[in-house]
Amino acid sequence: MSQQLAYVIITPYSLYKSRTGGILSRLITRTGLDLVGMRMFAPSAELVKEYAETIVSAHDTQDRKVQELLKDYVLTSLAPDPKTGCRRRVMMLLFRGDEAVRKVRSVVGNLSPNRQGGETIRDTYSDLIVDDTGKVRYFEPAVLAAPTVEEAVNKLKMWARHSDADGGILENIINYAPGELPERTLVLIKPDNFRFPTGRPGNVIDFFSRAGLYIVGARVFRMSTAQAMEFYGPVREFLRTKLKDGVSAKAKEVLEKEFGFKVSAADQKALGEILGPVQGDSQFDNIVRFMAGHAPSEIPEADWAKPGTEKCIALVYEGVNAVSKIRDVLGPTDPSKAPPGSIRREFGSTIMVNAAHASDSPENAKREFGIVKPGENNFKQVIEETLGKL
Residue 369 and residue 357: Cα distance in Å, rounded?
A: 13
- Burial of 258: CB neighbours in 10 Å, binned 0-12, 13-18, 19+: exposed
pLDDT of res. 255: 80
Find the Cα–Cα–Cα–Cα dihedral 239, 287, 292, 236, rounded to 10°. 0
Of 62-66, 235-239, 330-334, the poorest mean pLDDT is in 235-239
Of 91-100, 158-167, 257-266, 279-288, the poorest mean pLDDT is in 257-266
**Global pTM value:** 0.92
What digits encode the pLDDT tens for the residues 58-103? 888 888 999 999 999 999 999 999 999 999 999 999 999 999 999 9
Contact 120, 108 (CB under 8 A): yes
Contact 382, 94 (CB under 8 A): yes
- Find residue 187's DSSP bridge partners: 315, 358
Using the Cα atoms of residue 232, residue 234, residue 236 and residue 238 in order, give the sign of their dihedral: negative
Q: Which domains does the chain have, with CATH numbers?
A: 1-168+375-390 (3.30.70.141), 173-223+310-374 (3.30.70.141), 228-303 (no CATH)
CA nearest to 281, candidates 241, 248, 251:
241
Report which of residues 112 and 315 the model is more confident about.
Answer: 315
**Is residue 334 scored above 60 in pLDDT?**
yes
- Please tell me the total number of residues recorded for the chain in this structure: 390
What digits encode the pLDDT tens for the residues 172-222? 999 999 999 999 999 999 999 998 889 999 999 999 999 999 999 999 999
What digits encode the pLDDT tens for the residues 348-375? 999 899 999 999 999 999 999 999 999 9
